[in-house]
Structure 1
Amino acid sequence: MNLLVISGSAFPGSHTNAIAQIIESLVEQPENKVTVVDLCELDIPVFGQGKSDDVEELKRLTEEADAMMIGTPNYHTSYSGVLKNALDHLSINEFEMKPVALFCNSGGMRNSDPLTQLRMVMRGVHAMVIPTQASTCDSDFMKTAKGHVLKNEEIIERLSLMIDTLVKQADSEPVSI
C-alpha cells in the first residue's frame, strides 16, 4: 500500500505533524510505503492565484496514493486554512473512492468538530472516509528536545486500528460510482 499522510498545520513542529510522524512509524514497512507531507513546508498559493511545483507534487502524490490520512489542528472548531487551501487545489480526480482516515489535535480539550467538517469535504470529492478517527489534545503529548511525543497509548492503538482499516480498504476491490 502507498499511504500519503498530510499534516495540515501552519506551524513546523506541530502536534499534528507529531501524529503524522507516529503514523509513519506504525506502518509496516517495506511492504507499505509512507509519504508524510507537512503543508507548512510547501509553497501552495491561495487557490485561484496560480499553481506551483509543490501543488503539482501534492496532486501527483495524492493521485498515486492507495490511501490517505489527513490531519489538522483545531482552529476555532474547524480545520486549518492551510489544509483547506491545499484541498481546494485537489479534486475528485485524486480522491474518488480512495480510503481516507482523519485525525486532529486541539490545544485544550479533545474536539472532533474539525473532523466532522473534513468528512463532509471528503464526501464532496468522493473519498471513502473510514468511520474510525483520532482526536488528541496537547495533554496527550510530552514535550522533549526532539519535539512532541504522543504518550497516550489508547490513541496510539486507535491510530494502529485506522492504519489496519486503510490497508484492508486499499487492498479490496475498488468500487466506482
Structure 2
Amino acid sequence: MTPIGLSNRSAGKTRPHVVAVPGSRRDGSYTRRALEEALDASEAAGGTAELLDLANLQLPPLDPSTDPPEDSETVRRTIREADAVILGTPLYHGSYSGVLKNALDYCGFDEFEDTTVGLLVVSGGAFPTPALDHLRAVCRSLNAWVLPHQAAVPRARSAFDESGFTDDDLRDRVRTLGTRAVEFATIEPGRAPPIVCQEV
C-alpha cells in the first residue's frame, strides 16, 4: 500500500481510493494487521490503498477551547479525500477504542457525509457485536453510507501467525470488506435508481 496525496474525489481520478484507520497504537496490533489484509484486497479489486496509522500521529484528547493540533488536519484531510474509509478497532470494554473515538471526534460531516465506510472489529474473545453496532450508529449520525458487510476477528491471538491469518474464512471475510469498499466507493446515497418503463 502506497500513501496517496490525492484521492478519487479530485478531478481526473479513475481508481477508488480506500483509507483504513486502525484504532490501536500497539506495536504488532492485530487490528492493523487485519486492516492491511483488507487494503491488500482493495488494491486487488482495482483501488488504491492507504493506512492512516494513528500510532504515528499526535492527537491529544479533543479540547474545543484550544487550537487543534497539526496532526488533526492530517486526519481530516486524509479521510475527506478518501472515496471509502475502513474503520478498525480492538474491542475495549464492549465497545470501540478511545483512540479511534478521539480521532473521530476531530472529524465531522465534511469528512464523512456520503462517504462509503466499512467496519472491522478485533477481539480477544467472542464475536464483538456491540462494538460494530456502536460504530455503525456513529457513522450513521455523520450521514456516512455504511457497508452492510462487516468483519469481526474474534480470538485474535489464535487468528494470526507470522505469515497472516490462520483461518481462511476469517481472511476471506476481511478481504471481502476491502473488496466491497472499492465496489461501493462511488455509490451515491439517497439517489434512487432510474425507473425503466416498459410497454406491455
Common fold by TM > 0.5: yes
Give the partner amino acid of 1:84.
K
Contact 2:123 2:153 in 1 (8 A): yes
> Using the alignment, how far apart are the partners of 1:81 and 1:90 within structure 2?
14
Q: Give the RMSD, CA atoms, in angstroms.
A: 1.9
For 1:44, the aligned partner's letter is L
TM-score in terms of structure 1 length: 0.89
Aligned length: 172
Which residue in the other structure is 1:141 paired with? 160
- Where does residue 122 of structure 1 map in the other structure? 139
- Structure 1: gaps (5+ residues): none
| Residue in structure 2 matched with residue 101 of structure 1 by the alignment | 118
Give the AA of the match of 1:109.
A
AA partner of residue 123 (structure 2): S
Q: In the alignment, does 2:28 pair up with 1:13?
A: yes
What is the alpha-carbon distance in structure 2 between the residues aligned to residue 130 and residue 82 of structure 1? 22
Secondary structure at the aligned position of 2:21 is classed as strand
Whether 1:52 aligns to 2:69 is yes
Q: Secondary structure at the match of 1:155?
A: helix
8 Å contact kept, 1:10–1:80: no
Task: Give how far 1:111 is off.
Answer: 1.6
Which has the larger displacement, 59-68 or 40-49? 40-49
* Structure 2, gaps ≥5 residues long: 1-15, 192-200
Partner of 1:38: 53
- Structure in which a larger fraction of residues adopt strand: 1
Match of 2:130 among 110, 113, 124: 113
Q: Deviations over 1:122-165 (max 9, x none)?
A: 011111111111111212112x3xxx722221122112322232
Identical positions, percent: 34
What amino acid sits opposite 1:140 in the alignment?
A
What is the letter of the counterpart of residue 25 of structure 1?
D
Q: Distance in 1 between matches of 2:75 and 2:143?
A: 18
TM-score, normalised relative to structure 2: 0.79
Q: Partner of 1:68 in structure 2?
A: 85
Task: Verify the 8 A CA contact 2:18 2:48 in the aligned structure 1.
Answer: yes
